[in-house]
A and B are shown apart, each in its own frame.
Chain A
């Protein structure tokens, strides 16, 4: 079997963060190659390098054993590579046919040869059983159908190598089975498919080869014959360093005061159920970890607690004047990047009428020293800080405003190891002060290290809670169990 696409020693950095750390990978012709890993493991970065959107800092790419250099996606497309992104690249008000041919129209003179185009697309639709109507407008289609339009686009562009970025994340179980039928028919037509996913069930169903990435490194590789799902699951999460001395004593929450009490919280929006009967009790003096695959209602849960969205039903009782939040997306939700450190802090405070430069500089100086933030000057815009330092500023700010309840949502995402350790120590410090803390993360290691209690969130409800005693064991059995709960398997 021949190699169709191959990369050698790919390195890609974003500031201090190494997204791809010396990755080498071979994809064989006419196979389905699954790439697995946690969020932030470097899967999408690697695929964007394959597709020419990102250029590696070092390393080489070979197509059919010929070395290539992509300057843009155009170069990759010309060599028969196509990519289906998580966010579809479709024009909502155009029809299927218009979207598919856009940019590469079959013409007769100066007009589009609509008959020929139709014939060709009909042929593809029948051959791969896509079941699309060419004249429907995109915004009338379901997500699954839109995905098929994207696949049709790849076929129309003669892509031989198709990269799918988490295609099943947006599909219902039934749609997933149909999607895999399409994948299989693509494979029997001779295409090569690279499938990015973090669902183990996807792997079991279609993978010929599996590669696992973790923190930017390739950590595991296997083919179908030797495939062992348990092993793959373990590789995704990684070996968790168990450090008993790290254990921090906590206040006994049974005697602690309740900080937040949530009863049967449900959120339904536009027919989609984001939260369903979620129950949760948070006590002062504890860290409650919420663990789950992204998209199981974590964001909506945070929005409701912060008062930014109204639940459909259920009650929330919050025993504090304000809640601090380190949001999951620091650039989008955490800061005004054009403003300085001090301005970002003062803006978050309730008090004060004037916001002068002296005032903001004073706050910034304090935070820069207390949190050891590397910065050119305390007056510079947040945008000029590295990701890790930006995150430290946000953590510092949320602690500085001194609320009794704190929520940390992916507090260490895209942050290097040293900053991660530092942020962890600050979270623990807050707990010792008797604050109530919710930690939402998809990193099991982080959750097991910090949490006093741990809830697994799946499809908008906490399906299982683990108590302190169980968490402390940190044995492989527990990790496996949590891993399975995260994808909805409760044994």
Chain B
């Protein structure tokens, strides 16, 4: 276990260095001074309270969605459907929150959160149902379901719920908003990071415990490693498939609240900005280990906000390129490091 940890650390460290080198070359190539760009990026995120808070804010949603996906991936279920689940669940949460304004926040907060989770879990049951009954790959059904859900939600938002001449819904009551962390730590002033960040860390820790210390977690990983043997060992494989979809559905929905109840206060068309897809990379980067996801989501939060920070010097899309390079180099380096050390 310790050796494993060491090997993984070596491979992550090496890939970060490689990514840094490639980024520098890229920046030189487009005629920028890499030192200037990197200094601005690091300074504005790691050494500015606001930037640091924004980095944590961006990491929060990724952490929660990626944890749910990691549980699916551990079961060898390649669930691409987080984006749709997140979009749908958050929409329902917002609908509940603005429809029952007269309820006390003590009831309305859990009600809207749970309603969103349940809605998201219900739609998340569709791909496993088709997979179990007809053997259709979840990759296809989840990708397609994303489109279906997103456009259905958009239809309802635009036709029934949108504030006039906008693409957003009504703002939820201030009493429903999550507490911002700058209330506790002044230096985060102005940033959107809220208590959901701590919930995210807690969820990741819990998921780690679940996957690696409970029997059910072992069963999930057993199904991912060898489905046939799992069946013969008495594990109900179909039940596991449903279960991991339910977990990921529920967590995706919570992640969307980071925006609605943690930041703007309302659902807005396109708010999710591909969190559900980026989280796939975040999870894979951490080798689907929830502890690693805490760090990989922070890295992606850093790149995400860092991209905005350097927008004055280079287009922020450069950071998308860097995100891609990180993933590619992790995959490549991991193979090489493993070949060297595991023989």
Contacts and interface: CB of A to CB of B under 8 A. Distances in A.
Contact of A308 (B218, B222, B231): B231
Interface string A324-359: 010100001111111100011011101011111000
A248 interface: no
Interface stretch (B78-86, B232-240, B328-336): B232-240
Contact of A352 (B215, B222, B235): B215
B226 A347 contact: no
A325 to B, nearest CB: 6
A333 B218 contact: no
Contacts of A332: 226, 228-229
A306 interface: yes
A347 B215 contact: yes
Contacts of A348: 233-234
A339 B215 contact: no
Interface in B202-233: 213-219, 221-222, 225-226, 228-233
B: interface residue count bin: 10 to 19
Nearest to B235: A347
Contact of B218 (A325, A334, A343, A350): A343
Contact of B229 (A322, A334, A346, A352): A334
Task: Select the residue from A308, A344, A348, A355 with max chain B CB neighbours within 10 A.
Answer: A355
Contacts of B233: 335-336, 344, 347-348
Contacts, number: 57
Interface in B229-287: 229-235
A338 B225 contact: yes
A346 B228 CA distance: 18
Interface in B174-225: 213-219, 221-222, 225
A344 B214 CA distance: 13
B225 A355 contact: no
Contacts of A322: 234
Contacts of B229: 332-336
Contacts of A325: 232
A327 B232 contact: yes
Given A347-B219, A347-B235, A336 B230 contact: yes
Contacts of B215: 346-347, 352-355
Interface residues of A, number: 24
Contacts of A347: 215, 218-219, 222, 233, 235
Nearest to B222: A336
A129 B222 CA distance: 49
Given A347-B218, A355-B214, A333 B234 contact: no
Contacts of A356: 213
Contacts of B222: 336, 339, 347
B213 A354 contact: yes
Contacts of B217: 355
A339 B225 CA distance: 9
B225 A353 contact: no
A346 B218 contact: yes
Contacts of A338: 225
A446 to B, nearest CB: 21
Contacts of A308: 231-232
A397 to B, nearest CB: 9
Nearest to A344: B233
B277 to A, nearest CB: 28
B232 A353 contact: no
Contacts of B213: 354-356
Nearest to B233: A348
Given A306-B232, A308-B231, A308-B232, A336 B225 contact: yes
Contacts of A333: 228-229, 231-232
A325 B221 CA distance: 21
Contact of B226 (A306, A337, A352, A354): A337
A166 B229 CA distance: 27
A344 to B, nearest CB: 8
Nearest to A360: B218
Nearest to A308: B231
A341 B215 CA distance: 15
Contacts of A336: 221-222, 225-226, 229-230, 233
Interface in B35-91: none
Contacts of A352: 215
Most buried by A among B216, B221, B229: B229
A203 B225 CA distance: 42
A325 B214 CA distance: 24
Nearest to B226: A336
Nearest to A397: B233
A402 to B, nearest CB: 14
Query: Which of B214, B222, B226, B233 is most buried by chain A, counting CB atoms within 10 A of its CB?
Result: B233
Interface string B3-19: 00000000000000000
Nearest to A306: B232
B17 to A, nearest CB: 29
B218 A353 contact: no
Given A306-B232, A337-B225, A355-B214, 6 more contacts: A336-B229, A337-B226, A339-B222, A347-B219, A353-B214, A355-B217
Interface of A: 306, 308, 322, 325, 327, 332-339, 343-344, 346-348, 350, 352-356
14 contacts: A306-B232, A332-B229, A333-B232, A334-B232, A335-B226, A336-B221, A336-B225, A337-B226, A343-B218, A347-B215, A348-B234, A353-B215, A354-B215, A355-B213
